[in-house]
Amino acid sequence: MSKNVRKICLWAVGIALFVVLSMCLQVPVFENYYLCLGYIVMAVYCYSFGTPGGTVVGVLGTVLYCVVISGLRGMPGWALGNIVIGILLGRAFSLTAPMKRGERMAVCAVVIIAACAAGILGVKSLTEKILYAQPFLLRVGKNMTAFIADAAVLILSLPICEVLARPAANLFPELAVRR
């Protein structure tokens, strides 16, 4: 099997895992918002397979999840926001690889907060302002719970990323990012 076919299959598995974790393990946090555990998969893919893999998994996982759960409602904002989150997360993981573990985790946590702010409070809110003609600050306020919950899931997924990086590299040496 060629490298490109293996990559597409690996990304498809990640997208499926994103959807399954998002749908099956719904942990309520706020009034009507559940932790999106699919972000764990996105983080692991960004960490183990690089920025493109994690971003594709996060964006297409969100698209499929939204289509299955609620149709297209909310999907454009989430998908566009996840592009920003995936790119920033993947770059942070790549650039911090040479750092010591503690320093890397601290820097990555700060980047996760900034990426979620840009992706959810910025891009998602702006997209919803345009689509639904609601005031931007109202959308930011409504997206604040998602920002907090998703940033928390991504930060808590950092140790999982480290644990799964070695098995990922052993299983898919030609696709994994070298650490």
Per-residue pLDDT of the chain (179 residues; tens, 9 = 90+): 788 999 999 999 999 999 999 888 777 766 667 778 899 999 999 999 999 999 999 999 999 988 888 777 768 999 999 999 999 999 999 999 999 999 999 999 999 999 999 999 999 999 999 998 999 999 999 999 889 999 999 999 999 999 999 999 999 999 998 65
Q: Structure pTM?
A: 0.91
* 102 in Cβ contact with 87 (< 8 Å): no
Q: Could you give phi then psi for residue 28, rounded to 5 degrees?
A: -70, 135
* The pairing of beta strand 33-35 with beta strand 27-30: antiparallel
DSSP track, 104-154: HHHHHHHHHHHHHIIIIIIIIHHHHHHHH---HHHHHHHHHHHHHHHHHHH
Report all structural domains of the chain as residue ranges with CATH numbers, in order of start: 3-171 (1.10.1760.20)
Q: What integer pLDDT is reported at residue 26 of this predicted model?
A: 73
Q: Tokens 């999907």 label which residue?
A: 75
Please report, as a single letter, which amino acid is at residue 57: V
Residue 15 backbone class (left: φ over 0; alpha: ψ -120 to 50; beta: rest): alpha
